[in-house]
Structure 1
Amino acid sequence: MKKMLKGLGAALCVALPFIAQAPADAATPAATGAADQTLVQRGAYLAQLGDCAACHTAPKGKPFAGGLPMNTPMGRIYVTNITPDSQTGIGGYTEAAFARALREGVAKDGHNLYPAMPYPSYAKVDDDDVKALYAFFMHGVAPVQQANRESDIKWPLNMRWPLMFWNMAFLEKGAYRDKPGKDVAWNRGAYLVQGLGHCGSCHTPRGVAFQESALDESGSAFLSGALLDGWFASNLTGEHNTGLGRWSDEDLRTFLKTGANRHASAFGAMTSVINNSTQAMSDQDVAAVSTYLKSLPPAGGTGAAAYTYDPQATKVSLDRPANDAGARVYTAYCMHCHGVDGHGFAPMLAPLAGNPNVLAKDASSLINVTLNGTGDLVIDGVPSPFPMPGFAAVLDDQQIADVLSFVRAGWNNGAPAVGAAEVAKLRQSTQAGR
């Protein structure tokens, strides 16, 4: 029964165009009028906050022209062209049609968008910000004629009409409203995190219909960490071990601006978020996001005792690497960057001792980054000097399982061991098509 429910949820989320037409709109597209450059510039900033480029710009592709492949349980879909090209993009969209697509997941011709587009979060974007975003995409983006690509999902799972019912069940309409009793910074941070930042799309667990288990702090699952496309998006609550409980406000602000701090470094999809979005945030907005996230109570932890650093047992093991297969791999391939003491050389080289990603119950991110490495963090146009390399061609499944088990046990981390079968599964899914 559980498998059937999961299959239904996946089908609802990756389910062809809904044939009903959108209501007629008497307004005309903005492409014909003179643009308010102040509004366009504001829209450009908001598009960065929403990280629109990360999904709508393919590698080596033109900005916002789409074509980026996204994997789903039922097959691959391709992100659409949102440049103002009138034939293949959104040049024919009125502001009302743009707002409906953004906040309700319904395209101009009436077909439902896949919830890979985070419209349940964008539903909270207010009218002024929608207007600015529309001005930017119509007047601040170069039109690109590039046809959208059909998904690889086979019939009948490619039908989109079930998404109408998904929206009825899970889409909460209405822009964010300030919470009484909370200050300006908290409310601004909540608006950004829940809305344009759509942090919950990755960091909140999904239900059986692929819906986010919570859309704001009123749900205990909100931002408590989630598995997505081979990565485990980190816990962003105040949980002591796997969340932000040990991070100061300065730690969090530093991470959002640079992708690294004394606790951890960004990898996977978060690298793109840092590169394309959070580093461009104003100091005021960064502070607001930090204020809001640091207010979230602990949730989604492992139940383990609060982490305390203890290097002694690990140091003994590394002194005698022949006694431990994982220690042998660590000594040969990892120690020169991450150190005998597990502290690395933060923030340039990530620590492993007490790192929330190391302590997480789900080891998917550790396996994935060990196999495939991570992309460059590029801050103010300068790439990071020491990106994590991939070891898929160097280490076999058992060696990776051994070294990660060693790391997860080392320095008093106390996290569960990793099995070779887990590594083999992620190797197969992440190396396909490379």
Structure 2
Amino acid sequence: MLLLALGVTAAVGVAETAHGQRAESSPQVAPADDAALVARGEYLAKTADCAGCHTAPKGGVPFAGGLGLASPFGTIVSSNITPDKEYGIGSYSYEDFARTLREGVARGGKHLYPAMPYPSYSKITDEDMRSLYAYFMQGVEPAHTQPPATRLPFPFNQRWVLVFWNLAFAPNGVYEPRNGRDAQWNRGAYLVQSVGHCGACHTPRGPAYEERAYTDSSGAYLTGGANDHWFAPNLTADPGSGLGRVSAEDIASFLRGGHGGGLVTFGSMVQVVEDSTQYMSDDDLNAIARYLKSLPAQQRSGAYEPNSRGAQQGVEAMRTGAVQRPGAGIFLSFCAKCHQTDGSGKPLRYPKLAGNPTVLASDPTSLMRLLVEGGSSPDTNGGPKREKMPAFATKLTSEEMAQVLTFVRSTWGNNAAPVTTRQVMSLREEIHK
């Protein structure tokens, strides 16, 4: 429910290479004995989850590309970012590398599509950029593999248009610490806005696929975004669908192991936790949590009133089974075993539904997709074992799905808009299920 990586559809991680070109000068590689620089770069690469986009599914070679990423314009295939000199970035100088990440322009002048979060990477400091370069040149094994080419239909295959997109939408300049804020807050802001590129999923996009904001100076920043038929939720202090009722400690725990405050990761955020955030230091996770908790409530949606008379009556009715509302029977038959009749879930196993921000979100896409496809919690080092939610595509009709989701969004004190049969049918058609 946090940072759904684009995941919800993932952002293209680093670059598309200029295959076939020779380097004009030898790569400016950091000294081979500078293990600390390479180690720092590895940490940053995990923080950015570069492997999440640049590794093909089902056993692909790490960072060798080949993952197809959905976008409104068509499928964008991630590139090989290993130090292979023919198919990867082995011939990139440091300047080539930095320009690719900060400006979205690969070696040879090839413009990258904004599915790659280079507007966020533009904020990466020089020190961190050099660490990343050292890691990719010295710490990653070359993979002599050429991913399939990205082939978008006209006019989206006209990359020269991106010159004007960048002028209109892409920010520039490294992150500048905010005056009046302490070191922990600034560290969290830097990670969220730059390397972590959280806004790539959690900020709504405009008609040109631009993020509507890149910093907390705008009220649209991190208020939730739809990506590849998932909805990455609101990360501001909205007490309904946001983080207003989630503590900083629970946010850090959520990022560390996929569980926090009764919430559990789902969708592509599972991979983000497995490949990225579980490896981050406690200091950095706490800094991110501190920063997110400082964001004022924006784009309020839904409400949770567990102490209301109606909520208490509903809990008692569910406990006794004396509920006649549409969807109640379906919930008791298929959902209550894991999520409990009072919607409290089971700690470190199954998420709570009562007061869950994703349940209260204005956009129910993630709820619908989870019900259709099922899902699983993450498998992390030292974390709880993976739990799976079954798919209900063959067990429930679209009308029944709408009924049970509407029930969940209006019980135990939850107050969110109903889910319609048409919404469920539309999603199932789009994901072919």
Same-fold status (TM-score > 0.5): yes
Please give the residue correspondences for 1:356-371 in structure 2 after superposition, counting only pairs within 5 Å. 356-371=357-372
Paired amino acid for 2:35 = Q
Closer/same/farther in 2, CA of residues 232 and 337 from structure 1, 3 Å limit? same
The equivalent of 1:158 in structure 2 is: 157
Q: Which residue of 2 aligns with 1:4?
A: none
Does 2:55 align with 1:57? yes
Identify if the C-alpha distance between structure 1 residues 381 and 347 changes in structure 2 by more than 3 Å, giving closer, same or farther. Answer: closer
What is the root-mean-square deviation in Å for CA atoms of aligned residues?
2.6
1:378 partnered with 2:376:
no
Displacement, 1:262?
2.3
Partner of 1:99: 98
Give 1:159 deviation, angstroms: 1.3
* Deviation, structure 1 residue 372: 1.2
Structure 1's unaligned 5+ residue stretches are: 1-12
Identity of aligned residues (%): 45
Indicate conservation of the 8 Å contact 1:247/1:263, yes or no: no
Question: What's the counterpart of residue 283 of structure 1?
Answer: 282
In the alignment, what sits opposite 2:428? 427
Which residue among 34, 37, 40 is the counterpart of 2:38?
Answer: 40
> Which residue pairs with 1:326 in the alignment?
327
Instruction: Provide the C-alpha distance between the structure 1 equivalents of 2:370 and 2:208, rounded to a whole number of angstroms.
Output: 28
CA distance in 2, matches of 1:283, 1:84: 31
What is aligned with 1:272? 271
SS of the equivalent of 1:96 reads helix
1:196 aligns with 2:195: yes
Q: 1:333 to 1:243 in 2, by over 3 A?
A: same
Amino acid at match of 1:250: E
The amino acid that maps onto 1:217 is: D
The Cα shift of 1:301 comes to: 0.8
CA shift, 1:318, in A, is: 6.6
Shift of the 64–301 alpha-carbon distance from structure 1 to 2, 3 Å rule, reads same
* TM-superposed deviation, 1:151: 2.3
**How big is each residue's C-alpha offset from its partner over 1:328-357, in whole Å with a ceiling of 9 and x where there is no partner?**
211111010000110011231100000000
- Counterpart amino acid of 2:364? A
Q: Secondary structure at the match of 1:409?
A: coil
Partner of 1:88: 87
Tell which deviates more after alignment, 353-362 or 73-82. Answer: 73-82
Q: Deviation per CA, 1:105-137, whole angstroms, max 9, x where unpaired?
A: 000011100111100000000001000000111
Give the equivalent residue in structure 1 for 2:347: 346
Describe how 1:142-181 pairs up with structure 2 within 5 A.
142-181=141-180
C-alpha distance in 2 between matches for 1:369 and 1:108 = 40
CA distance in 2, matches of 1:51, 1:292: 20
Measured against aligned partners, the alpha-carbon deviations of 1:207-229 in whole angstroms (never above 9, x if no partner) come to 22211111111101111111111
Q: How does 1:246-257 map to 2 (within 5 A)?
A: 246-257=245-256
Secondary structure, in 3 states, of the residue corresponding to 2:69? strand
The answer for the alignment partner of 1:312 in structure 2 is 313
Determine if contact 1:29/1:95 at 8 Å carries over to the other structure. yes
Normalized against structure 2, the TM-score is what? 0.90
The AA in structure 2 aligned to 1:121 is S
CA distance, structure 2, for counterparts of residue 156 and residue 385 of structure 1: 43
Q: Which moved more, 1:408-417 or 1:383-392?
A: 383-392
For residues 205 and 58 of structure 1, the distance between their equivalents in structure 2, rounded to whole angstroms, comes to: 27
- CA spacing shift, 1:172–1:345, aligned 2, 3 Å: same
**Could you tell me how far apart the structure 2 residues matched to 1:285 and 1:78 are?**
31
How many residue pairs get matched? 416
Q: Offset of 1:379 from its aligned partner? A: 1.1
Aligned residue number for residue 7 of structure 2: none
Q: After superposition, give the CA deviation of every residue in 1:263-293 in whole Å (9 maximum; x if it has no partner).
A: 4211112111111111111111111111111
Measure the CA separation in 1 of the matches of 2:132 and 2:392: 41
Match of 1:76, SS?
strand
* 8 Å Cα contact 1:349-1:386 kept in structure 2: yes
The answer to whether the 8 Å contact 2:225/2:231 transfers is yes
CA, structure 1 residues 211+331, in 2 after alignment: closer, same or farther (shift >3 Å)? Answer: same
Secondary structure of 2:226 counterpart: strand
Distance across 2 between alignment mates of 1:25 and 1:180: 41
Pair 90,321 (structure 1): closer, same or farther in 2 beyond 3 Å: farther
Amino acid at match of 1:252: I
- Aligned residue number for residue 298 of structure 2: 299
TM-score, normalised relative to structure 1: 0.90
Residue 65 of structure 1 contacts residue 144 of structure 1 at CA under 8 Å; is this kept in 2?
yes
Residue identity opposite 2:216 in structure 1: E
Q: In structure 2, give the amino acid aligned to 1:47.
A: A
CA distance in structure 1 between the partners assigned to 2:270 and 2:250 by the alignment = 17
Contact 1:25 1:96 in 2 (8 A): no
Offset, 1:388: 2.1
- Residues 343, 354 of structure 2: 8 Å contact kept: yes
| Deviation per residue, 1:382-409 (Å, 9 max, x gap) | 6733222222222221111111111111
Q: Which residue pairs with 2:127 in the alignment?
A: 128
Any idea what the Cα deviations from partners look like across 1:288-329, whole Å, max 9, x if unmatched? 111111111111112757665724225425745783341121
- 2:242 maps to 1:243: yes
Unaligned runs of 5+ in 2: 1-10
Q: For the residues of structure 1 that align with 2:231 and 2:307, how far apart are their CA atoms?
A: 23
- Residue 108 (structure 2) pairs with residue 109 (structure 1): yes
Q: Which moved more, 1:395-404 or 1:104-113?
A: 395-404
**d(CA) in 2 for partners of 1:191, 1:249:** 17
Provide, for residues 85-119 of structure 1, a one-character-per-residue CA deviation record: whole Å limited to 9, x for no partner: 11111111111000000111000011100111100
Q: Structure 1: which amino acid aligns with 2:336?
A: M
8 Å CA contact retained: 1:237, 1:299: yes
Secondary structure at the aligned position of 1:227 is classed as strand
Q: Secondary structure at the match of 2:389?
A: coil
Structure 2 counterpart of 1:3: none
Q: Which secondary structure does the structure 2 equivalent of 1:355 belong to?
A: coil
